[in-house]
Structure 1
Amino acid sequence: MYSLKLLALALALVAGHCVAAPPVDVLDQPAQSSKLADRSPLLDLAQAGKRLIAVGQRGHILYSDDQGIHWTQARVPVSTDLNAVQFATEQQGWAVGHDGVVLHSRDGGSSWEKQLDGRQLGRLMQQYYSARSESEQWQELSKRIETEGADKPFLDLWFSDELNGFVVGAFNLIFRTRDGGKSWEPWADRIDNPSGYHLNAIADDGKHLFIAGEQGLLVRLADNGERFQALTTPYEGSFFGLSAQPGMLLAYGLRGHVYRSKDEGLSWTKVPTGLNSSITASASDRHGQLYLFAQTGQVLASKDQGEHFQSLDLGPSAPIYGAMLAEQNRLLLVGPRGISQRLLVPVQQEDKRGAPHG
């Protein structure tokens, strides 16, 4: 009986110690290794040379050297959710996510280091705007961000090369680097977004850089490269993504809405999709075919630079958050169930009489 009492006391002390232990901040907790990482929720895909990279929840980053057949989990210093990834070269890449995280890889995605997190954003903004005697508006915003802590996500990123890039996110968060992420410059005062709408996507068409956001926000970087200027918006709902190439820009988002511009965002035409679900991702192949992906799993394809789309039947559908075209007509998809693959059939666009043509 005495030994049982001692055992009970020991268990109680252990339980009490566990309860009292302070929680570990996800910004300080490395991502946990998991054999099921490729089946856990993933949000975006990118290419680093011939290597493929996927990012997602709990800091999971995976890479594949055989076009998505097998995946290896990378070493990541945080366990916060990651939203987007891009590689400027085969070796140099960045990923962004919740809690104001910016990660950098120097080795093609095998390992990552933290360059920025939400605990630094407010302080960086205060230092920047105070030194420049900016208006009270930006200094107050900086203080609020620092007071509220690391709770604001970065949602997308764009790098033109291994030195120059932007990261964008919720509540008009936008920072620029000119040295590969060694330092970051706040740009909240250099974007026509007076209501502080979320900045959901950033992309370039080879000539101009664009940002799309909630409430129909669309802006374009001015020719002098010093400010994002408002474009006339064709829609008052949220845009979740952009697909851009020379001479064509698509903005897509809520409830299947897609708009197309042929004049660098100055005017827009609505593109019928037949969807009521939100469009969350896009991809293109080496033949110039364009694909759009819906949150509920539908896939649309276009052979005429987004002027018309038709639905593709790729089998059982599931939510799609990111997509990429791999070799041998394979489509890689990421979503709440991890990574999946589909075989693509070449698109045959219908002419005005409804007859397919190649």
Structure 2
Amino acid sequence: AVAIDQTEHCAPCDPSLGCLDGAFSCVDVADQGTYCAATCESDADCPQAYACGATTDGARCLPSPGDKIAYCNVAAGSIFGYEHPIQETAWVRPGQTYELDSRRLGDLAIYCFGGYRDDAGVFTPTVLGVRRHVFAASGVVDDTVDVQLEHQLKRTFRLRLADPPTWPTGLQPPNIVISLDLGADGVIPFSRTYLDAGDHTWLAPRQLAALSGNLHDTSYFFYTTVQADVTGAYPRAYNLVQHVERVVEDRLPVRDGGAWTLEGKQIQRDLYAVYAATGQQAYAVGEDGLLMLFDGVNWTQQSSQTEEDLHAIDGRGGQDIWAVGDRGAVRHWDGVAWHPVDAPLDNYRAVAAATDGEVVVAGDVRVRSYRDAGWRVEGPPSLQDIHGLAAADDGRVLAVGSHGRVFHRAVGGAWSQVPTPRDLDTTLFAAHFDADDALVVVGAGGAVLVGDTFGLRAVDLGTTADLTALAPTADGGLVVVGDFGTVADRGPDGAWVVDEIPDYRSKAHGVFAPADGGPIRVVGSAAFILGPLLHFPIITAPLHEGSLGDTTLSWTWFGGPEGQFSRLRVYPEAGASIWDLIVEGAERQAILPDITSAAGFDALGSGRRRLEVTRVLNERFDIDSYSTRDLSIYRRDSWSTNQSTFYAP
């Protein structure tokens, strides 16, 4: 707080003593402490650099975040986030008027962002107003375009990049363009300075709480660019998400009678795991110590007595449940209340309630077990970086983690590593003891492993989505959930079927299937997924700055989904493309047609040339029947591109 000398404005105070001047009260200013603040009815009652704001003791004069001001602009014509330069006459203070050049003619919208501008000139928007269906005619001055600031900017979007590409030097921070599409009226840019929340998740503050009022028929457009951290502009990957009406995923998927629906539960924080206690009753844990109870009808929050993220939960019935999380957070439910349990400092990511009162937990460092109020380290030193645990009724434990590692603890307590396919180098997230001592393990990139303690084999389900959790079903099958609403069901006959939860653009973290055959329920992330992202193409022939030995062009990629087609373009050192080839998305090689032999024309010529390879994901594309319209970026979901230069002899 900034005090004003010779006054009690923002003077520190003791709530028990109050302030000397009767016009001031000692108010609690959030986490900044207690200060004297004068009563007010409007900003005019407050000194310069102060504004009349709400406190726990009514309206008081508080330090202003800056100059209260708004700017107005004309909605852009492009959904790619371009904003017309702000005209000097477009800045307006309370009680003033603005003036705009319409920039274009015809139907358009005028929008105004209201907020505060600090001494450094940084503007922070807090509210939006939009006047739609304005007709701009040539040479006409319209002085009736009043804009009401009515849409509060009080929501923060959580945006997560799904399986972004990798590069040896790393990636630059993504460029995320957010636009609000008003249809014929144009586009309002909503891009902000984003905050890195970790795990490829970015926070976009000061967004609309809802698309309501005169914005009820609008939708969002997300255009994301991911670039390798290298000198130059390539390689790059792009993702396009259009016609979005809901950005925060506060609904939970439910499957009843074979059909998926999304129940609006208004849970706007991530849920990381769920445990089915008894019948339809379940507990879920998540972000910032979130702990939820499902009673068969409703979800209600319970006190976990911690603000640390809780990552995992397991139990033995409804009276003995364990939840674990970051910085040694361990909580135990005894049927009456949740109690904290002292534990070694670690970030716990998995828990399994074994037999005879034993609890096994996995942290960033080691796996530990808890029995009779004591902790001990489990297994060999290689038993590290474990992401999932499962316990059998006879005391056996299964641990899965990074680099495709699977460990098994026998009844006697001895740990051993379970053989997995040699080429498996992915993170495994969840495991299950199946019937007849069989094991099932799932993980990143659509990994599914089945077998026993003597060895596991991979099952190809045809998906590259991360698979994060699984649960046995009442009919003897399994249900597996993961990224992008991906669901994989294994029926009682052992056959696998991959499905998708409609309209669920998020990541599932947990699933429970009641033993009585009731509805299957899923918990997951509240973040909106930006993806899929095609991984970068790597040009292998001709080599960069090498000579073209023959007319074969080759490229490859590692990870990520497969595109529908690849576009190859060869350019001279300057100018338009010489060659433009379209090949199927699975192909990694193309041969330039021999025009010289066929027509006596050397189309490639000689000298320095540039090859651009673009992989494209467009599920509506048909390689046997397409036009140039099908190549438009507006019809793409994702694309990635890379370039190299070579010398043609």
| TM-score (norm. length: structure 1) | 0.69
Q: Which runs of 5+ in 1 are unaligned?
A: 22-35, 122-149, 339-358
1:178 aligns with 371
Matched residue, 1:237? 426
Contact 2:479 2:490 in 1 (8 A): yes
- Match of residue 513 from structure 2: 325
List, as ranges, runs of 4+ consecutive aligned residues in structure 1 with deviation greater than 6 Å: 11-17
Q: Which segment is superposed worse, 43-52 or 277-286?
A: 43-52
Find the counterpart in structure 1 of residue 353 from structure 2: 159
Partner of 1:169 in structure 2?
363
Aligned counterparts, 1:228-307, within 5 A = 228-234=415-421, 235-247=424-436, 248-261=438-451, 264-304=452-492, 307=494
Per the TM alignment, residue 186 of structure 1 is displaced from its structure 2 partner at its CA by 2.2
Residue in 1 that maps onto 2:397: 209
AA in 1 matched with 2:292? L
Partner of 2:315: 87
Q: Find out whether 1:113 has 2:300 as its counterpart.
A: no
Cα distance, 1:279 vs. partner? 0.7
Structure 2: which amino acid aligns with 1:277? A
Percent identity over the alignment is 19
Instruction: State the distance in 1 between where 2:355 and 2:267 align.
Output: 29
Residue 44 (structure 1) shift: 0.9
Alignment of 1:70-149 (within 5 A): 70-107=298-335, 111-117=337-343, 121=344
Asked whether the 8 Å contact 1:54–1:63 carries over to 2, the reply is: yes
Partner of 1:27: none
Distance change >3 Å, CA 237–CA 18, structure 1 → 2: closer
Q: 1:43 aligns with which of 264, 267, 272?
A: 272
Hey, what's the Cα distance between the residues in 1 that align with 2:29 and 2:483? 44
Distance 1:332 1:59 in 2: 21
Q: CA deviation at 1:18?
A: 4.8
- Quote the Cα distance in structure 1 between the aligned partners of 2:309 and 2:339: 15
The answer to whether the 8 A contact 2:367-2:384 is kept is no
* Correspondences of 1:8-23 after superposition (within 5 Å): 8-10=9-11, 18-19=31-32
Q: Which secondary structure state, in structure 1, belongs to the residue aligned with residue 288 of structure 2?
A: helix
Separation in structure 1 between the aligned mates of residue 291 and residue 523 of structure 2, nearest angstrom = 12
Whichever residue aligns with residue 510 of structure 2, its letter is G
C-alpha root-mean-square deviation of aligned residues, in Å? 3.0
Q: Is the 8 A contact 1:76 1:111 kept in 2?
A: no
| Aligned-partner Cα distance in 1 for 2:13–2:485 | 49
**C-alpha distance in 1 between matches for 2:31 and 2:267:** 31
Q: 1: CA distance between counterparts of 2:286 and 2:334?
A: 19
CA–CA separation in structure 1 for the residues paired with 2:315 and 2:410: 24
SS in 1 for 2:11: helix
SS of the residue aligned with 2:8? helix
Q: Match of 1:321, SS?
A: strand
Question: How has the CA–CA distance of structure 1 residues 76 and 232 changed in structure 2, closer, same or farther, with 3 Å as cutoff?
Answer: same
Tell me the amino acid that sits aligned with residue 456 of structure 2.
Answer: W
Contact kept in structure 2, 1:38 and 1:62, CA below 8 Å: no
Q: CA deviation at 1:37?
A: 7.4
Match of 2:610 in 1: none
TM-score by length of 2: 0.39
Query: Structure 1 9/43 Cα, relative in aligned 2: closer, same or farther at 3 Å?
Result: closer
Is 1:218 aligned with 2:406?
Answer: yes
**2:340 corresponds to which letter in structure 1?**
K
Q: 2:434–2:440: 8 Å Cα contact kept in structure 1? A: no
Give distance in 2, aligned partners of 1:161 and 1:245.
17
Higher-RCO chain (CA-CA 8 Å, sequence separation at least 6):
1
Mapped contact 2:355–2:393 kept (Cα < 8 A): no
Opposite residue 428 of structure 2, the aligned amino acid is F
Separation in 2, partners of 1:314, 1:81: 26
Distance 1:277 1:5, change over 3 A: farther
The gaps in structure 2 that reach 5 residues or longer are 15-26, 35-264, 528-649
Pick the structure with more helix per residue: 1
Deviation at 1:156, TM superposition (A): 1.0
The structure with the largest strand share of the pair is 2
Whole-angstrom distance in 1 between the partners of 2:459 and 2:8: 70
> CA offsets, 1:76-115, max 9 Å, x none?
21110001111213211110111122111112xx631111
Q: Identify the residue that residue 210 of structure 2 maps to in structure 1.
A: none
Counterpart-to-counterpart distance in 2, 1:165 and 1:302: 29
**The residue matched to 1:292 in structure 2 has which SS?**
strand
Hey, what's the Cα distance between the residues in 2 that align with 1:73 and 1:99?
Answer: 22
**Secondary structure in structure 2 of the residue aligned to 1:83:** strand
SS at match of 2:403: helix
Q: Could you say if the C-alpha distance between residues 331 and 16 of structure 1 is closer, same or farther in structure 2, counting changes exceeding 3 Å?
A: closer
Displacement of 1:11 after TM fit?
6.6
Given that 1:46 and 1:324 are in contact with CA atoms closer than 8 Å, whether structure 2 keeps it comes out as: yes
Q: Tell me: CA distance 1:286–1:304, structure 2 relative to 1, closer, same or farther (3 Å).
A: closer
8 Å Cα contact 2:354-2:393 kept in structure 1: no
Which secondary structure does the structure 1 equivalent of 2:374 belong to?
coil
Deviation at 1:270, TM superposition (A): 1.3
Spell out, residue by residue over 1:35-89, the C-alpha distance to the aligned partner (whole angstroms, 9 max, x if none): x873421111112224211111111111122x2x212211221110001111213
Cα 1:334–1:228 shift into 2, 3 Å? same
Do the aligned partners of residues 83 and 41 (structure 1) sit closer, same or farther apart at CA in structure 2, a change above 3 Å counting? same
| Counterpart contact for 1:272–1:309, Cα < 8 Å | no
Measured in 2, the distance between the counterparts of 1:162 and 1:10 equals 60
The AA in structure 2 aligned to 1:259 is L
Deviation track 1:176-206 (CA, whole Å, cap 9, x = no partner) reads 1222xx221222xx23x43x63011111355
Q: State the one-letter code of the partner of 2:342.
A: L
Output the amino acid matched with 1:275: T
- Aligned residue for 1:229, secondary structure, equals strand
Amino acid at match of 1:57: E
Question: How far off its partner does 1:8 sit?
Answer: 2.3
